[in-house]
Amino acid sequence: MISCIQRAKTKFLIAFLFALAASFGVSTTGYAQGASLPVDDAGIVSAGESLYKNNCVVCHSVGSDVVVGPGMKGVNERRTQPWLISWTKNSQALIASGDKDAVAIYNQFNKQAMPSFAFSDDEIVSILTYIKSAEAAAAEAPA
């Protein structure tokens, strides 16, 4: 049985850790569905660009061109962030769960499995932010 003192220490430790995380700017909630991506944050866009170019560009274009997998243009509008995070971390688990969209994408691209990535949620959000930023830059570029 946990004593009152031990329980108080545990509550204090948890509160301290949350306060510490908040003081370092760590997001405890992430970006909610429908929240706008921070495309004006050069650090996040740059981090996302680096991750994208080192991991994603082999199979995906930032535009609408199909490479091995689908082009990423409009992906932030087609899918929710939680879904994209789940897909990126482990697409096969999402397919195995029977997710309708995951199964459709898997079948559409000749049952070619996307590799799983051990990215954090924030790293995936930075990739999504880079994609959104690249779309905005392409839209602003003169034709």
How distant, in Å, are the alpha carbons of 32, 72, 79, 128, 136 from that of 132? 16, 9, 13, 6, 6
Condensed to tens digits (0 to 9), the pLDDT of residues 64-112 reads 999 999 999 999 999 999 999 999 999 999 999 999 999 999 999 999 9
List of residues 6+ apart from 50 with CB closer than 8 A: none
DSSP 73-115: TTHHHHS-HHHHHHHHHHHHHHHHTT-HHHHHHHHHTTT-PPP
Amino acid 75: pLDDT: 96
Q: What is the pLDDT of residues 12-32, one digit of tens each?
A: 445 444 444 444 444 433 444
Rounded Cα distance, 125 and 94, in Å: 18
> Other C-beta atoms within 10 Å of 48: how many?
27
Q: Which two tokens stand for residue 115?
A: 């590799």
Count Cα atoms within 13 angstroms, Cβ side, for 24. Answer: 7
Confidence (pLDDT) at 21 = 45
Q: For residue 133, what pLDDT is reported?
A: 94
Distance of CA 124 to the CA centre of its chain: 3
For residue 2, pLDDT over 90 is answered with no
pLDDT digit string (tens) for 42-56?
999 999 999 999 999
Torsion of CA 133, 48, 61, 66, to 10 degrees: -110
Do 39 and 128 contact (CB within 8 A), yes or no?
no
